[in-house]
Amino acid sequence: MEVIYPRCAGLDVHKQTVVACVRIAGNGPPLQEVRSFTATTSGLLALCDWLDSFGIEHVAMEATGVYWKPVWHVLEGHFELVLANAAHVKNVPGRKTDVNDAMWLADLLAHGLIRASFVPPTAVQELRTLTRTRKQFVRERSAHVLRIDKVLEDANLKLGVVLTDIMGKSGRAVLQAIVDGHDDPEYLAGCVSVRVKASRAEVLEALRGRIRAHHRFMLELHLGHIDALDKAIAAIEKEVGLGLEPFRHAAKLLSTMPGLSSVSAHVVVAEIGIDMSRFATPGHLLSWACMCPRNDESAGKRRSTRLRRGGQWLKTTLVQAAWAAIKVKGGYLQAQFHRLRARRGAKKAIIGVAASMLTAIWHMLRDGTEWHDLGAAHFDRADAHKTANRLLRRLQQIGYAVHLTPA
């Protein structure tokens, strides 16, 4: 096979060590030399000097957890780095060692057989870390709210029946009163706002339970965790605002799309960045985000079209945004959802809407334009003849003889 990169190296990265193999192609067999380094900062600097002594230009490594990141940061700027998906560069089973892995990566890179993964700039990486941590904290907070409701049910307090949000102003006041030692239904009902829809009698009945010291301890424990998470989320929001400064205009453009709130726009920018030259076409972005059907064909038969696993952070955000976008009446996305749902069902239809939104995001970020809605009648205008035939068949099915005359 043709050698694309004559001077390259492959790195097998682990938590404590990095095994490096340099490969230098010449007239005869290629020169290969392997050496192991520690994963400490001094060890990585020694690795950089060792690679530079051979005149290495390209370096490949696998994306192994978070262990590749410090190696990437040290070598970035000195060499042309390639991050490989571990599933794409598997070697022959039964011959796996650290040295063989490093040599295998060097051979693949030399012949141009490694497809580089998307590694965003440092500013985008930091913003991505913040948005992902915020989402994790929000999930943890929701879990603690569910645990509080579980404790209330154990005490036979039906607070969630009379209040929509048990962590709202009235709910929080009732919970704090219980923690402080109050269990009289009259006193607890006095903490509930008069604006709630439930009647006074319903509130009293819901707050008549059997509260023990164990319940108070558990409620105090969960409320403390929720307060700490609220404080952490607020701090992350402030840091996101600072980190978003170079990308604020792009996030504002994305917010013009139906279903994409400012928080969702921040997540999209953090996941894919704003430089769309990294993705040649919208299809490449959809494939990277695992938002398109997989290729699984054998003997001329398509065995599966399910989505590939991956892209959990971006995919979940886009699907949530798609459910919000289809509620906008008279919009293109709502019309597309109903059109797809009639043939493929709601689950596949919402994925199709999310994929359309990501396609539009690619164009909006590349061209710097706002969202332009094509309208609900776009599909009828795009193929008026097919729409007329469909309606004609439907009329014939219910017993009408119809003759079409062009207007």
Q: Which residues contact 245 (CB under 8 A, 6 or more apart)?
A: none
Other residues' Cβ atoms within 10 Å of the Cβ of residue 86: 12
What 8-state DSSP symbol labels residue 17? E
Q: Does 405 score more than 90 pLDDT?
A: no
Give the C-alpha distances (Å, rounded to integers) separating 269 from 240, 244, 277: 11, 9, 14
183-188 average pLDDT score: 90
Decide if pLDDT at 68 tops 80: yes
The confidence score (pLDDT) of residue 27 equals 80
Taking only the tens place, the pLDDT of each residue in 99-115 is 999 999 999 999 999 98
The pLDDT tens digits for 267-300 are 999 999 999 998 999 999 999 999 888 887 788 8
pLDDT for 28: 80
First-residue to last-residue Cα distance in the chain: 64
Return the closest-CA partner of residue 71 out of 97, 37, 103: 37
pLDDT in tens, 143-170: 999 999 999 999 999 999 999 999 999 9
**Model confidence at 383: pLDDT above 80:** no
- What is the pTM for the complete model shown? 0.83
What confidence tens digit (pLDDT) does each residue in 14-35 have? 999 999 999 998 888 889 999 9
DSSP 3-state of 97: coil
The percent of residues above 90 in pLDDT, for the chain, comes to: 70
Tokens 């040295």 appear where?
99
Q: Which residues lie below 8 Å from residue 291, measured CB to CB, with a gap of 6+?
A: 307, 311, 315, 318, 351, 354, 355, 358
- pLDDT level of residue 52 (50, 70, 90 thresholds): very high
* Confidence check: pLDDT of 75 > 90: yes
Mean pLDDT of 62-67: 89
Supply the mean pLDDT for the chain: 91
pLDDT (mean) for 245-261:
92
